[in-house]
Amino acid sequence: MIFAGASLGDGTVIEYCIDATARKQAEAAVESARRYAENIFETLHEPLLVLTSSLHVHAANRAFYEQFNVLPEESIGRVIYDLGNKQWEIPALRKLFEEILTHNSPFEDFEVEHVFESIGRRVMLLNARRLEDDGSILLGIRDITGRKRVEQELRTAEQNLRHSNDDLTHFSYALSHDMQEPLRMVVSFTQLLARDYHDKLDAKANEYMRQAVDGAMRMESLLTDLREYWSVSEQKVEALVPVDCNQVLERARTFLGSAIAESKATITHDPLPTVFLEEYPLTLLFQNLLSNAIKYRRPEALPRIHISAHRNGSAWRFSVDDQGIGMDARYLEQIFAPFKRLHGSKYAGTGLGLAMCKKIVERYHGRIWAESAPGKGTLIQFTLPAPGGKA
Amino acid sequence: MRVPHIVLIEDNPGDVMLVRLALEENGIPHTLTQYSSGADAVHTLCDAPADSTPVPDVILLDLNTPHMDGFDAVRKFNLSPQFSQVPLAILTSSRARSDKHRAELLGARFIEKPTQLDDFLSSVGNAVKEMLERVTATL
């Protein structure tokens, strides 16, 4: 309370009081708000400037002085365009400031790359908005030089990686192709030798030749699988066409004719859907799954394989159930990796069959997984996109 | 009956031997002229004056011979008035569907060279037999 008195000259004195509490409180609130804002202003690591409506620097925070390596007397009171070596004297930036002043429209992430007077070449991002009706502007400046450099390095590294990966793929493809010819010569002429000179050679020599051909043939399957693996993982998806999975399965059975006949395998299937994909990779997929199911059959029983498909929302889920030897659940993750073979040389194979299946399914953004237990057979399931959906 | 004349364009001596064997073992009587490159064959056959070289009954050519891609050689033969009617087969160890497709577009037969000896002999032998039968049928 403020008390005051006044004498009117005729002996009367008026005493009055004014309640100043409200004003005091208002002043304290303003001061508190100012300190609050100032604390934020000074604490931020991002350089900040407050500009007047005539674009003179009204205030700058500590981060500004530190990052630009300048003193307050070089900055305060000067027009923004005159700072340093006129780094902000950019026509596009001028236009943005005018927009703020006339339309109160803030701008964000205006990128400036410049050789600054005391700190050299930097890339900065500018953000600005109007603070008050008097037209003062808050300008935030972020140094993204480091980020830009890392991004560039990352891009270069990625590009290099892609190039060397491309080289490697082409190299392995060319290799698998070019090795085919000499290998064919080895097989053909060893077989010719065995055929025409069979009588002139003893049992041992014939066995040697059989081993040579056997080795060469294994190498040929490996080269063929490598090329197929390459084509399903590296070649772009061609035009998608309607593919009747019943027919694809038939074709896979035809390819595996002798293996099916030798093993006396029974292959049954539910009606299978038509999908919109590519025919050849799908044939390979079924061929590899059937071939595996036949290969890992139980010695005491004839192989029985059943294929089914269920619509699951936007995808078809296929199942291949083999009732074969099965495997320990801990190997289930490994079996889809290239060259992972659980049974060594006991079962012939290149170690690429299931890896190829995974590549084919993933080619159409599907998923493949297995469930198994020793002696209980293996159930391989995979998804393919249903027409109009994603796998 | 005239003995069929077969032109073989193949640079690998092993394959030349195997093709000869395929013809012999399939009982196909023949005279065989071999060129080691498509460019050589095209030069000798197509660029020579007409009637100076006998027109073969069948041309077999490997896809990868030096100096000229097999497909280019097929195109040259197709353009030659003398040779455009001669049945042509591309022999290759390529299993690429795209190669097969290109061969068919050019009107050439596509014969994959199988790795197994027996398969090679029968596949080359049967293909040549069929081609020769078609030639005789149209005469």
ipTM, interface predicted TM-score of the complex: 0.87
Together in a domain, A182 and A254: no
> Residue B30 in contact with residue B2, Cβ under 8 Å?
no
Does the CB of B51 have a partner CB in chain A at under 8 Å?
A: no
Distance CA A32, CA A124 (A): 32
Output the pLDDT for position B1. 66
Together in a domain, A339 and A212: no
Together in a domain, A268 and A201: no
Of A186, A212, A234, the position where a domain reaches its end is A234
Contact list in B for residue A224 (CB cut-off 8 A) is 95
Together in a domain, A247 and A219: no
Chain-chain contact of A187 with B115 (C-beta, under 8 angstroms): yes
Output A166-171 pairs: Cβ under 8 A, ≥24 positions apart. Answer: A169/A230, A169/A234
Sequence-ordered list of residues with C-beta below 8 angstroms from that of B100, at least 6 positions apart, any chain:
B110
Give the residue-averaged pLDDT of A128-149.
88
Evaluate whether residue A2 is within a structural domain. yes
Residue B4 has pLDDT above 90, yes or no: yes
Provide, rounded to the nearest whole percent, the portion of chain A with pLDDT above 70: 93
Evaluate whether residue A313 is within a structural domain. yes
Together in a domain, A374 and A317: yes
* Structural domains counted in chain A: 4
Sequence-ordered list of residues with C-beta below 8 angstroms from that of A268, at least 6 positions apart, any chain:
A304, A305, A306, A307
Q: Which residue of A has its CA nearest to B92?
A: A181
Average pLDDT, chain A: 86
Chain-chain contact of A180 with B118 (C-beta, under 8 angstroms): no
- Write out the residue range of the structural domain in which residue A224 sits: 159-234
DSSP state of A76: T
Evaluate whether residue A339 is within a structural domain. yes
Chain-chain contact of B95 with A227 (C-beta, under 8 angstroms): yes
Output the pLDDT for position A243. 92
Closest chain B C-alpha to A193 CA, distance in angstroms: 11
Q: In whole angstroms, how far apart are CA A371 and each of A299, A332, A382, B33?
A: 20, 7, 11, 60
Of A234, A261, A293, the position where a domain reaches its end is A234
Interface test with B, best of A177, A180, A183, A184 (most B CBs within 10 A): A184
Of A277-286, A324-333, A336-345, A370-379, the least confident:
A336-345
Does the CB of B14 have a partner CB in chain A at under 8 Å?
A: yes
Q: What is the pLDDT of residues A46-67, one digit of tens each?
A: 999 999 989 999 999 999 999 8
Provide, rounded to the nearest whole percent, the portion of chain B with pLDDT above 90: 44
Residue B59 has pLDDT above 90, yes or no: yes
Apex B133 CA angle, B128 and B136, nearest 5: 130
Give the residue-averaged pLDDT of A212-234.
85
- Choose the closest CB to A184 out of B21, B93, B118: B93
Together in a domain, A128 and A165: no
The tokens describing B72, both together, are 């280019």
Beta strands (DSSP E) in A254-359 are 266-269, 274-277, 304-312, 315-321
Together in a domain, A110 and A121: yes
Q: Is the pTM of this model over 0.80?
A: no
Evaluate whether residue A391 is within a structural domain. no
Evaluate whether residue A151 is within a structural domain. no
Of A143, A176, A205, the position where a domain reaches its end is A143
Together in a domain, A164 and A196: yes
Q: What is the CATH number of the domain that holds A253?
A: 3.30.565.10
The tokens describing A278, both together, are 């590519």
Together in a domain, A370 and A256: yes
Q: Give helix A180-196 / helix B117-138 axis angle, nearest 10°.
A: 90
Instruction: Give the pLDDT band of residue B64 (cuts 50, 70, 90).
Output: confident
Evaluate whether residue A228 is within a structural domain. yes
- Which residue's structure tokens are 């061609």? A238
Closest chain B C-alpha to A187 CA, distance in angstroms: 7
Output the pLDDT for position A389. 56
Together in a domain, A34 and A50: no
Output the pLDDT for position A324. 84
Q: What is the CATH number of the domain that holds A69?
A: 3.30.450.20
Together in a domain, A255 and A375: yes
Evaluate whether residue A120 is within a structural domain. yes
Instruction: Give the pLDDT band of residue A238 (cuts 50, 70, 90).
Output: confident
Evaluate whether residue A150 is within a structural domain. no
Together in a domain, A126 and A163: no
Does the CB of A224 have a partner CB in chain B at under 8 Å?
A: yes
Chain-chain contact of B117 with A227 (C-beta, under 8 angstroms): no
Instruction: Give the pLDDT band of residue A7 (cuts 50, 70, 90).
Output: low
